[in-house]
Every structure is written in C-alpha cells, then in structure tokens.
Structure 1
Amino acid sequence: MTLSAARRTPLFEQVVGQLREQITSGRWPVGSRIPIEPELAEQLGVARGTVREAVRALAHNGLLDIRQGSGTYVAATSELAGVMRRRFAEIGHADIRELRMTLEASAAALAAVRRTEADLELLQGALDQRDLAWEEGDTERFVQADAAFHHAVVAAAHNAALTGLYADLGEVLRDELRDYLTAGLDPERKVDHGGLVAAIRDGDAAAATAEATHFFPKLAEGGESQ
C-alpha cells in the first residue's frame, strides 16, 4: 500500500483515501481488524499522528469501529451502507436477489476480461476463507466470508461506479443471507464458486456470467442464496 494521490492533495486526505480504498476494494473485509497504527504509518511512510487522524475520520463516517483494548475493525464498506440498509428494509427478498443477480452478472463478465494477477490472488483467498467458514459451520463467519468473496469479484471488474454501488448494498445483502441461514448451514444448499473463479481466471466472460447466475433461478423457489 503506497500513497498515489497527487502531492498537492493534503497528506491527511491522501491517507484517508488510501485507507478507504483498502475497505472498498474488499482487501479489508467488513468485520476484519485493520493493521495497527505503527504498521500503517510504516506502510504509508507518514507519521503515526496522521494515521490516527485518518482512522478517526473514517470511524466518524461509520467505516471503522475503534474498540478500546481490541483494535480497529471494518464496520461498513461505505458511508452510505447504513443508509441503504434502512432504505431497503421494507423491500422483499426476491427483489433484492434480482438486483444482486444483475450486478453480479455484469461484474463477473467484466472481471473476466479486466482482472489482474492481484485480483486473482484476492479472489482465491476469499474463496478459500468462504469454504473454510462453511466447513467449520460458522454461520456468521460464512456470511462475512461470502460477502468478501462477492465483493472481490465486483472489485475485479475495475468499474468504480459498480464497485461503489455494490459496497453501498453490502449490509443489505448480508442481512438477506443471514435471514436465509437462520436454520444454519445446510449441506444441500451450499453453492460452489470454484467455477466462477476459474472462469474469471480463464478470461471467459460468458462462462463467468453463467457461473455467477446459474443458481439464481432457484432463489425464487427458496433455493440457494449464496
């Protein structure tokens, strides 16, 4: 992680921007603890005080949660996430799933032709964490890992508008998945996304779209929701 903003931009704003990028890109998933202050200062080449101010600013905006004695955790992927959560509270699951399908299908196709080696590494790591959470039967961990995986797919599309919109909907999508998994992780409903990662790695946009959407028709009948 290095500072890349124009030098005429105040240093504090550069640091805020870099930390925000780690969150919105999915490199720091919701629920994860970010590096401690000295590590961030060293990575960015700035004073600890500047990092402290940037972290506090992002905490004030709702992206980070500073917990005394524990560390600082990612609370949301954007300032609008909480607003969107309230906005969609009364909208039915079927409508939310159709919106999700539209966004993820487009992102998967774009990711297949735009992904970088760094994106592929992030995708595989997110997929591994998702599978591990399922195997260990940890529902909330799976919800977070599943969200991180899908966010990584969207981020690999390298479309700032799409990534931002998907990030804003993050809490809405996690709530929907939590509702679906209230009875726990049913082995018969697990969706394997290995094929999606493979299609993106192979640069096959059509296959990536198919892999991102093949399970959605079942959603209307109460099938898989991951």
Structure 2
Amino acid sequence: MSQVRRAPLADQAAELLLERIRAGEWSLGAKLPGETTLGPQLGVGRSTVREAIRQLAGKGVLESRQGAGVFVTALDVGEDWDAVLHRAGIVAVIEARIAIEAEAAARAAERRTPQALRAIRHCFKERQEQRGSTEDYVDADMRFHRAVVAAADNPVLLELFDSFVPRLRQSMIDMLRIGKHVDDEADHAAHSDLVEAIAARDSGLASSLSRAHLETLKIGLQ
C-alpha cells in the first residue's frame, strides 16, 4: 500500500486518502477506519491523520461526527464555483439559468407576497423604461429576474442566481453591442406575461413562460 514519503506529511496523507476515495475504496456515506488503522497504512502518526482529515473536511469530502467517526460526504474535491462559471460558455450558463429560474418562477407564483409582487412590477416598469446605456438596460433586466427569484422565497435559488450574474451580465452586454437581440415587442410581452402569471398564482404558466423566454435568449446567443 502507498505510503507518505515526503513532507508536508498532512498534505500527502490527505492526497492519499482522496485517491483512495476516488478509487472507490469508500463509497459515499461510508465510515473511514479509525486513526490507529489509517496511520500505519499511510505511514504517518495519528496527529497527521487528524490534520489530513481536517483538510478534506474543509474541502467537503469528509465529515467528522462527534462520537460517531469520520464519514465520506463527497467522492472528489469540488471545483471552485467561480472558476466553473468563468470557464463555462454562455449557452451553458443560460441552460443552468433555465433550471433555476423556471423553478423559481413556479415557486414565486405560489409564494409571492403582495410586497414581492410590487417589487416585481416595479422592476418590470424600470426595465421597460430604461433608455440609458447598454449596461444600464442589462442591469435593469437582471434586477427584474432577481426580483422573480427572490419572490420564490428560497435562499438557495437566490444565491445560485446571484452567482450567475457577473458571468451573465457581460455576455448580455456583448450580445446587445453586436446587435444580437430578440424582438423587443415579443421580449416585452414575454416579461409582461410572466409578471401576470405570478400575480395570478399560476405556477405552471409562470414556469413555462420563464423557460420559453430563456430558451429564446439561448437561441439568440448561439
């Protein structure tokens, strides 16, 4: 069995543990052997094993549960979210937005409060009245879509949407500057219909309208 041969020992031990997890030695949710077993296998002391486990716990791969042991919570180290979005093509980002916003629109129709609906209507009005720069128009559009997601009253959906905004914003600005855009009248109608579906608490219609709008946007970006 492979053992640690060079410093830093904890880093090396963490990498060896991760390799064994990736290889399928322990499945998702499995409990790791104790420190007294892992130490000799890795060729390190118990304190080094503990530090290696702490490293992998910090990366979301392991979880130490008081009195129960150490368990596998992921089968690999997740890539930094910002790096993923930076590398992803805009079409891929739009496809992910469809998954998020179609669901958010449905939940917004079910859960929106009078205050949330007022915020959506206000952002819709601002979006339609925006006659400033391209950047100002895109920002107004982002505020409208964020208001819809916020009305869904799901903090995870909202955080996911917010993580997309920087990547999406620049792509939308670039698209408008080179003249790629959906028909303005159809675009206005699509957003207006979405507002009214949410106001009417029609979750199915709100979801389908959100999806259709973003699919149209995706086609325009290709």
TM, length-normalised to structure 1: 0.56
2 CA distance for matches of 1:219 and 1:194?
16
Q: In the alignment, is the contact (CA less than 8 A) between 1:139 and 1:185 conserved in 2?
A: no
RMSD: 2.3
In structure 2, the CA distance between the partners of 1:220 and 1:118, relative to structure 1 (3 Å rule), is closer
What are the ranges of 5 or more consecutive residues in structure 1 without an aligned counterpart? 1-82
- Identify the residue that residue 167 of structure 1 maps to in structure 2: 162
Is residue 97 of structure 2 the alignment partner of residue 97 of structure 1? no
1:112 to 109, 133, 136: 109
Is residue 198 of structure 2 the alignment partner of residue 203 of structure 1? no
Q: In the alignment, is the contact (CA less than 8 A) between 1:114 and 1:157 conserved in 2?
A: yes
2 CA distance for matches of 1:127 and 1:160?
22
Task: Report the alpha carbon displacement of residue 168 of structure 1 after superposing the two structures with TM.
Answer: 1.9
What are the ranges of 5 or more consecutive residues in structure 2 without an aligned counterpart? 1-79
- The aligned amino acid for 2:209 is E
Task: Report the alpha carbon displacement of residue 87 of structure 1 after superposing the two structures with TM.
Answer: 3.6
Q: In the alignment, is the contact (CA less than 8 A) between 2:105 and 2:149 conserved in 1?
A: yes
Q: Computing the radius of gyration over CA atoms, which structure comes out larger, 1 or 2?
A: 2
In structure 2, the CA distance between the partners of 1:119 and 1:220, relative to structure 1 (3 Å rule), is closer
Task: Report the alpha carbon displacement of residue 211 of structure 1 after superposing the two structures with TM.
Answer: 1.4
1 CA distance for matches of 2:173 and 2:156?
26
Q: In the alignment, is the contact (CA less than 8 A) between 1:196 and 1:211 conserved in 2?
A: yes
- Identify the residue that residue 129 of structure 2 maps to in structure 1: 132
Is residue 150 of structure 2 the alignment partner of residue 152 of structure 1? no
In structure 2, the CA distance between the partners of 1:185 and 1:98, relative to structure 1 (3 Å rule), is closer
Task: Report the alpha carbon displacement of residue 176 of structure 1 after superposing the two structures with TM.
Answer: 2.1
Size of the aligned set, in residue pairs, is 140
- The aligned amino acid for 2:177 is T
Task: Report the alpha carbon displacement of residue 90 of structure 1 after superposing the two structures with TM.
Answer: 2.1
In structure 2, the CA distance between the partners of 1:125 and 1:138, relative to structure 1 (3 Å rule), is same
Is residue 186 of structure 2 the alignment partner of residue 188 of structure 1? no
TM, length-normalised to structure 2: 0.57
